[in-house]
């Protein structure tokens, strides 16, 4: 469960104001914001590298400030950034996680098959297709067996088949009781993966819709109302 | 421990990349090439040494009387130790010879005549030690920089492990990897020494290890600087910072310390003035003796002996005191240079290398002292032979290899302080790097 209570974060301008969100186990929430810095600050708060805020952020009843170790174990942060060592081979990355997380070989077998790792093992990260790379990141993140997931526009700019696959995975994770927070500005993809969708503008949560209700609305209109930089 | 082990293996695997291996191999070959050049240089000095002694022996046979021997004197050769193979070009002394006669002057010179004009002179980077400072530091700076520039990678890993643990694992893995690499190069260089028949004494072994220790400290220092440069948000800013830091510590700081030392050395008495002082003392004596006793003839040898003995006790003593004073002033300046050098790891490395090579300031002072002692012994020998012997034939003053000065490898003064300062720098830089690393994983 992910809980954000009365969250306030002010830098040069108010980045987040009085944000209240509760994402239950087995629920996915898409938070849409046109301002990248708001999303960045939220990711930093969950990563534990931004503590200059007021309010409360809790993961499975553990406060993110006072119980950092437990929170780190209970959360996975995934962003689409590609600033990885380009010379690093896929096999090296996979082996690193296997060793550092002390995961038995059997658990990796499923991952090997799923990612067709034999084909990718000796390839450098820079040589991988974006789709292949994101699948690897996602699969590695799943190995952590965390119950809370924060995605930062992870499916943004990806082809349709990846998005469909991602949607299936999200649905499977929800069935397993995971809480998912998806941070993005993609109004069209939001109802596909979120049970609830929140619209933020200038750091404030202005509107919250259920996916079924949003699908009935004019998404373009919603986009121009909340997310366009006009 | 699990994170460290996994990170260490991952970093080691990353190094197995063909391009990186190529660069490291090239660097290794370059280092070994310079060691071999140093060995060739050392061997040539050893060969010259024998020729030098033969010539010196033959010279004495050419003299008809002691007056000629006293006027021409003999020469003394500075022979560096085997560890000088690592410092052919970067040490203070490239080659040194002294001419000892009965005159008031003390001649120590670096020849530019004949083939010596074309030999490597001191103060460059064209040797093992220099190349380690010039290219090794750049390589290590980049190694540190590169360890911190992949922000998304660190962000992802930070989700799986504590940031401090992650930082320490990355940093310590890389420090171990490059330290082992440098020690491996050092090991191979020793193999080259052995293959060339150069054997180190126990003391030289100790100082070899001390040099390797200083080299590793210098590398860790540059690595820590590199990690700081890598934490900048903009890669361009980071890269410019990296190059600037390299320039500052490899060129600017040593240049400033040399300039300060040179400026302070202005207090040392001028060598021309000193020569004049000595000449005045000697000429004063000559004039006084002539006025008192008249010109020296065969009939007044007794008087001449008295005069010479008086000069030995008074004027020569005064001249020696002037030389000793000069040595003390040089010593003070050397001490100042060594103390200043301790403050920065790059200058500490240069200063330690200088002394460990046996071609540094400390050995120069020893050489100077030795020449001074020999000079007075030679003057006494000259007086005894000229005024008290039976005047039959000229006997050589030098016995065996007394005209060879074998330099000893030493540690600079304030060596432990230098190590301590370097460690403090490293700790502070890593602390700064960690704070910046924490900030850099923010989006």
The predicted-structure confidence for B243-267, as pLDDT tens digits, reads as follows: 999 999 999 999 998 888 888 888 7
Q: Which candidate from A83, A97, A101 shows the least CB-CB separation from B153?
A: A83
Selected residue with higher pLDDT from B195 and B292 = B195
Sign of CA dihedral B261, B264, B269, B273: positive
* Geometric angle at alpha carbon B330, from B326 and B336, rounded to 5°: 150
Distance CA A186, CA A219 (A): 10
- Among A15, A40, A49, A151, the strongest candidate for a mutation testing the B interface, having the largest count of B CBs within 10 A, is A49
DSSP state of B430: H
DSSP state of B226: H
Residue closest to B140 by CA, chosen among B33, B215, B190, B210: B215
Task: State yes or no: pLDDT of B301 exceeds 70.
Answer: no
Distance CA B186, CA A181 (A): 54
Say if residues B222 and B189 touch (Cβ distance below 8 Å).
no
Say if residues A11 and A34 touch (Cβ distance below 8 Å).
no
Task: State yes or no: pLDDT of B296 exceeds 70.
Answer: no
Least confident piece of the model among B123-127, B241-245, B250-254, B400-404: B123-127
Instruction: Find all residues with CB under 8 Å of B396, minimum gap 6, and list them.
Output: B57, B60, B74
DSSP state of A103: -
Give the pLDDT score at B251. 92
Give the pLDDT score at A135. 86
Joined together, the tokens standing for residue A129 give 């297709």
Q: Please report residues of A whose CB lies closer than 8 A to that of B9.
A: 95-96, 99
Task: State yes or no: pLDDT of A92 exceeds 90.
Answer: no
Interchain CB distance below 8 Å, B152 and A72: no
Joined together, the tokens standing for residue A109 give 């077998």
Distance CA A191, CA A193 (A): 6
The string of pLDDT tens digits covering residues A119-165 is 788 888 888 888 888 888 888 888 888 888 999 888 888 888 888 98
What mean pLDDT is predicted for residues B1-5?
A: 81
Say if residues B163 and B437 touch (Cβ distance below 8 Å).
yes
DSSP B332-371: HHHHHHHHHHHTSHHHHHHHHHHHHTT-SHHHHHHHHHHH
SS3 of B16-42: the string is: CCHHHHHHHHHHHHHHHHHHHHHHHHH
How buried is B348 (Cβ within 10 angstroms: 0-12 exposed, 13-18 middle, 19+ buried)?
Answer: buried
Interchain CB distance below 8 Å, A99 and B160: no
Helix axes B315-342, B415-440, angle to 10 degrees: 20
Distance CA B342, CA B38 (A): 26
Task: Set out the domains of chain A in order of their start, with CATH numbers.
Answer: 2-75+148-226 (3.40.50.300), 85-145 (no CATH)
Task: State yes or no: pLDDT of A190 exceeds 80.
Answer: yes
Q: Averaging pLDDT over each range in A36-40, B222-226, B277-281, which range is the top one?
A: B222-226
What mean pLDDT is predicted for residues B129-140?
A: 93
pLDDT category of residue A104 using cuts at 50, 70 and 90: confident
C-alpha distances out from residue B276 to A135, B271, B281, B285, B368, Å: 86, 9, 9, 14, 19
CA atoms within 13 A on the CB side of B80: 30
Joined together, the tokens standing for residue A160 give 């349709």
Residue closest to A185 by CA, chosen among A151, A211, A162, A134: A151
Instruction: Give the H/E segment covering residue A211.
Output: helix A211-215
- Among A100, A124, A151, A184, the strongest candidate for a mutation testing the B interface, having the largest count of B CBs within 10 A, is A100
What mean pLDDT is predicted for residues B82-110?
A: 81
Task: State yes or no: pLDDT of B103 exceeds 50.
Answer: yes
Say if residues B333 and B268 touch (Cβ distance below 8 Å).
yes
Say if residues B176 and B219 touch (Cβ distance below 8 Å).
no
pLDDT category of residue B293 using cuts at 50, 70 and 90: low
Instruction: Give the H/E segment covering residue A21.
Output: strand A14-23
Say if residues B4 and B173 touch (Cβ distance below 8 Å).
yes
Distance CA B289, CA B300 (A): 13
The shortest C-alpha distance from A42 to chain B (Å) reads 10
Task: State yes or no: pLDDT of B29 exceeds 50.
Answer: yes
DSSP state of B266: G
Instruction: Find all residues with CB under 8 Å of B163, minimum gap 6, and list them.
Output: A48, A49, B437, B438, B441
Joined together, the tokens standing for residue A166 give 């991602």
SS3 of B80-141: the string is: CCHHHHHCCCCCCCCCCEEEECCCCCCEEECCCCHHHHHCCCCCCCCCHHHHHHHHHHHHHH
Interchain CB distance below 8 Å, A49 and B5: no
SS3 A148: strand
Interchain CB distance below 8 Å, B2 and A47: no
Q: Averaging pLDDT over each range in B4-13, B222-231, B365-374, which range is the top one?
A: B222-231
Task: State yes or no: pLDDT of A230 exceeds 50.
Answer: no
Say if residues A182 and A28 touch (Cβ distance below 8 Å).
yes
Helical H segments across B265-314, by residue range: 271-293, 301-313
Residue of B nearest to A152 (CA): B443
Proportion of chain B above pLDDT 70, given as a percent: 93
DSSP B63-81: -SSHHHHHHH-EEEEEE--
The string of pLDDT tens digits covering residues B63-94 is 888 888 888 888 889 998 999 999 888 777 77
Q: Please report residues of B whose CB lies closer than 8 A to that of A100.
A: 2-3, 6-7, 160-161
The residue length of chain B stands at 443
Distance CA B228, CA B203 (A): 38
Task: State yes or no: pLDDT of B381 exceeds 90.
Answer: no
Task: State yes or no: pLDDT of B212 exceeds 60.
Answer: yes
Joined together, the tokens standing for residue A14 give 């108010």
Q: Where are the beta strands (DSSP E) in B131-286?
A: none
Q: Please report residues of B whose CB lies closer than 8 A to that of A48.
A: 163
The residues that bridge with A16 in the sheet, in sequence order, are: A9
User: What's the number of domains chain B is made of?
Assistant: 1
Average pLDDT, chain B: 86
> Per CB distance under 8 Å, which residues of B are interface residues toward A?
2-3, 5-7, 9-10, 13-14, 17, 19-20, 146, 149-153, 155-156, 158-163, 438-439, 441-443
pTM of this prediction? 0.85
Interchain CB distance below 8 Å, A95 and B10: yes
Measured in whole angstroms, the distance separating CA B190 from the mean position of its chain's CA atoms is 19
What mean pLDDT is predicted for residues A173-187?
A: 89
What mean pLDDT is predicted for residues B387-410?
A: 82
What mean pLDDT is predicted for residues B44-58?
A: 87
Interchain CB distance below 8 Å, A50 and B160: no
The string of pLDDT tens digits covering residues A32-91 is 887 778 888 888 888 888 888 888 888 888 888 888 878 888 888 888 777 788 888 888
Residue B73 φ then ψ, to 5°: 70, -155
SS3 A8: strand
Say if residues B335 and B413 touch (Cβ distance below 8 Å).
yes
Interchain CB distance below 8 Å, B14 and A92: yes
Edge-to-edge order in the sheet of strand B74-79: B107-109, B97-100, B74-79, B404-406
What mean pLDDT is predicted for residues A204-228?
A: 76
Selected residue with higher pLDDT from B407 and B116 = B407
Q: Please report residues of A whose CB lies closer than 8 A to that of B151.
A: 81, 83
Range of the domain at B282: 2-442
């Amino acid at each position: 469960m992910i809980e954000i209570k009365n969250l306030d974060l002010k830098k040069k301008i108010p980045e987040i104001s009085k944000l209240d969100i509760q994402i239950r186990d087995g629920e996915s929430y898409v938070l849409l914001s046109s301002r990248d810095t708001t999303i960045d600050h939220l990711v930093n708060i969950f990563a534990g590298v931004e503590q200059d805020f007021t309010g409360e952020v809790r993961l499975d009843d553990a406060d993110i400030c006072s119980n950092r170790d437990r929170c780190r174990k209970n959360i996975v942060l995934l962003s689409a950034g590609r600033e990885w060592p380009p010379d690093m081979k896929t096999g090296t990355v996979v082996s690193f996680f296997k060793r550092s997380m002390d995961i038995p070989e059997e658990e990796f077998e499923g991952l090997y098959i799923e990612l067709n790792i034999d084909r990718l093992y000796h390839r450098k990260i820079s040589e991988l297709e974006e789709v292949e790379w994101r699948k690897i990141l996602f699969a590695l993140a799943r190995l952590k067996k965390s119950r809370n997931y924060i995605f930062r526009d992870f499916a943004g700019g990806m082809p349709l088949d990846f998005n469909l696959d991602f949607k299936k995975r999200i649905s499977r994770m929800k069935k397993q009781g995971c809480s998912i927070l998806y941070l993005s500005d993609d109004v069209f993809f939001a109802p596909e993966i979120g049970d609830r969708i929140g619209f933020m503008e200038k750091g404030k949560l202005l509107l919250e819709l259920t996916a079924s209700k949003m699908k009935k609305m004019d998404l373009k209109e919603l986009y121009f109302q909340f997310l366009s930089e006009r | 421990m699990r994170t460290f082990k996994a990170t260490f293996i991952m970093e080691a695997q990353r190094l197995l990349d063909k391009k990186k291996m190529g660069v490291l191999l090239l660097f290794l070959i370059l280092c070994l090439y310079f060691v071999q050049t140093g060995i060739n240089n050392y061997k040539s000095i050893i060969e010259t040494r024998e020729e030098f002694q033969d010539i010196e022996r033959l010279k004495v046979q050419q003299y008809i009387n002691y007056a000629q021997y006293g006027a021409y004197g003999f020469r003394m050769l500075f022979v560096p130790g085997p560890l000088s193979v690592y410092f052919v070009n970067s040490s203070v002394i490239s080659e040194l010879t002294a001419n000892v006669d009965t005159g008031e002057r003390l001649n120590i010179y670096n020849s530019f005549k004949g083939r010596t004009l074309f030999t490597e002179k001191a103060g460059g980077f064209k040797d093992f030690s220099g190349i380690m400072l010039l290219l090794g530091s750049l390589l290590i700076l980049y190694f540190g920089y590169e360890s911190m520039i992949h922000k998304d990678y660190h962000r992802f890993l930070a989700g799986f492990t504590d940031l401090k643990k992650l930082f320490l694992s990355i940093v310590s893995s890389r420090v171990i990897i490059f330290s082992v690499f440098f020690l491996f190069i050092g090991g191979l260089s020793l193999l080259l020494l052995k293959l060339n028949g150069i054997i180190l004494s126990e003391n030289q072994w100790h100082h070899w290890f001390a040099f390797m220790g200083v080299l590793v400290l210098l590398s860790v220092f540059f690595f820590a600087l590199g990690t700081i440069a890598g934490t900048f948000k903009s890669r361009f800013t980071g890269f410019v910072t990296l190059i600037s830091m390299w320039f500052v510590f490899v060129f600017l700081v040593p240049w400033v310390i040399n300039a300060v030392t040179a400026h302070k050395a202005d207090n040392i008495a001028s060598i021309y003035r000193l020569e004049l002082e000595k000449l005045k003392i000697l000429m004063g004596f000559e004039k006084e003796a002539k006025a008192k006793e008249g010109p020296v003839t065969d009939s007044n040898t007794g008087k001449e002996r008295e005069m010479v003995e008086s000069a030995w006790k008074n004027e020569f003593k005064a001249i020696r005191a002037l030389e000793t004073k000069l040595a003390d002033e040089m010593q003070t300046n050397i001490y100042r240079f060594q103390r200043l050098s301790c403050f920065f790891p790059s200058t500490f490395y240069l200063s330690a290398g200088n002394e460990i090579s046996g071609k540094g300031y400390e050995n120069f002072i020893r050489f100077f002292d030795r020449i001074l002692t020999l000079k007075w012994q030679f003057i006494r020998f000259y007086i005894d032979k000229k005024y008290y012997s039976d005047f039959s034939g000229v006997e050589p003053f030098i016995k065996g290899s007394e005209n060879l000065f074998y330099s000893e490898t030493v540690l600079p003064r304030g060596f432990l302080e230098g190590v301590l300062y370097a460690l403090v720098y490293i700790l502070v830089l890593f602390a700064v790097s960690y704070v910046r690393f924490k900030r850099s994983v923010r989006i």
